[in-house]
Amino acid sequence: MSARFPVSRPRRLRRTQALRDLVAETRLNVNDLVAPLFVREGIDAPIPITSLPGVVQHSRASLREEVRQLADLGIKSVILFGVPAKKDEIGSGAFDPAGIVQVALNDLRSDLGDRMVLMSDLCVDEYTSHGHCGILDGHGSVDNDKTLEIYAKAAIAQANAGAHIVAPSGMMDGQVGVIRSALDQAGHVETSILAYSAKYASGLYGPFREAVDVQIVGGGDRKGYQQDWRNAREALTEVEADIEQGADMVMVKPALAYLDVIAAVRSIVNVPVAAYHVSGEYSMIKAASANGWIDHDVVATEHLTAIKRAGADIILTYLARWYAELANG
């Protein structure tokens, strides 16, 4: 071969670990990760979640201990999900000042102040007897605007309890705008909104439903409000609407099957982009590695890095504690 110019040799920069670390384009960091945590009303000891190995439903006390440890490991944020003792038609536990997430937020805010960014998932599916993310109309479908009234109350209750960020996940139209005005009117102008803007009606939420004891009535689904996975452009419409209504950050969920959506969202917005590596994504890694079919640490790092490479600034993941422990050596 007599090439006019020397051939390109990308392998030169792959020779040693130090070289690879030097030129790496994507750097995963503990600061990027948000740990989703479950807190259950009326229990004295944590309860394991079978389909989410290593994740538990916390008691109030065990949650406080866990979050203290996460703070010491360098994790900057947690997002709380509540499992109430009683559910009802309208999901009252989501806005009751004595509801489980509200009391847990109070606990954590008094333990850690501003050292940890406290997020709360803002939805009613964990609190409704029928398992839907909103209030049902007379025909069994979710009434968008009646649901918004409940979301507004939940936002105020969470902000009163100490949430730094509320994260509406119900995919009701107009939810960000209604929550922003409700927070402002209640004097919570500094409480931020992380909008679950592009949330797909995914099969990957299966283990989460065990985690929060949710069964949708009549074997129903969320396809009437969450997005159809065949659509990517539609996600940009959702994101634009949420930013216009006052979202401080936007989210794509799930993550790995939607890397194209994460990249597209990243390219059209300047606000922080989050991605949720959901329960099913986590459980697949745990199950395959438990069988010896994949290497847990390699695949987990590869997945989280891919989500960041696609454009996510922030990753919500049940792997947060594992990664922080790994990073702390």
Residue 125 as a binder of ligand PBG (CB under 6 A): the answer is: yes
| Cα–Cα distance for residue pair 139/126, rounded to 1 Å | 21
Instruction: Look at residues 210, 34, 248 and name the one whose alpha carbon lies nearest to residue 120.
Output: 34
Taking CB atoms within 8 Å and a gap of at least 24, the contacts of 11-17 are none
By CB under 6 A, name the one of 151, 205, 225, 258 that touches ligand PBG.
205
Q: Nearest approach, Cβ of 131 to ligand PBG (angstroms)?
A: 9
For this structure, is 253 an active site residue? yes
Q: Nearest approach, Cβ of 207 to ligand PBG (angstroms)?
A: 7
Task: Considering the complex, state which of residue 63 and residue 204 has its C-beta at the smaller distance from ligand PBG.
Answer: 204
Residue 278 as a binder of ligand PBG (CB under 6 A): the answer is: yes
Task: Considering the complex, state which of residue 40 and residue 72 has its C-beta at the smaller distance from ligand PBG.
Answer: 40
| Cα–Cα distance for residue pair 295/83, rounded to 1 Å | 33
* 8-state DSSP, 91: -
Residue 123 as a binder of ligand PBG (CB under 6 A): the answer is: yes
Q: Nearest approach, Cβ of 208 to ligand PBG (angstroms)?
A: 3
Which residue is associated with the tokens 């109430």? 84
Task: Considering the complex, state which of residue 151 and residue 208 has its C-beta at the smaller distance from ligand PBG.
Answer: 208
Q: How many C-beta neighbours within 10 Å does residue 305 have?
A: 16
Q: How many C-beta neighbours within 10 Å does residue 9 have?
A: 8
Task: Considering the complex, state which of residue 96 and residue 111 has its C-beta at the smaller distance from ligand PBG.
Answer: 96
Catalytic residue (one of 76, 199, 286, 308): 199
Question: Do 247 and 270 form a contact (C-beta atoms < 8 A)?
Answer: no
Residue 121 as a binder of ligand PBG (CB under 6 A): the answer is: yes
Q: Which residues lie across from 253 on neighbouring strands? A: 199
Q: Which helix (H) or strand (E) holds 137?
A: none
Q: Which of residues 84-103 bind ligand PBG (CB under 6 A)?
A: none
By CB under 6 A, name the one of 169, 175, 191, 283 that touches ligand PBG.
169
Distance of alpha carbon 12 from the chain centroid: 39
Stretch that binds ligand PBG, among 68-76, 118-126, 136-144, 155-163 (CB under 6 A): 118-126
Size of the site for ligand PBG (CB under 6 A): 10
* 8-state DSSP, 43: -
Residue 194 as a binder of ligand PBG (CB under 6 A): the answer is: no
Question: Do 278 and 223 form a contact (C-beta atoms < 8 A)?
Answer: no
Which residue is associated with the tokens 């025909």? 139
For this structure, is 199 an active site residue? yes
Q: Which of residues 222-261 bind ligand PBG (CB under 6 A)?
A: 222
Binding mask 33-72 for ligand PBG (x = CB under 6 A): ----------------------------------------
Handedness of CA 230, 234, 236, 238 (dihedral sign): negative
Cite the active site residues: 199, 253
| Residues at the interface with ligand PBG (CB under 6 A) | 121, 123, 125, 133, 169, 205, 208, 222, 278-279
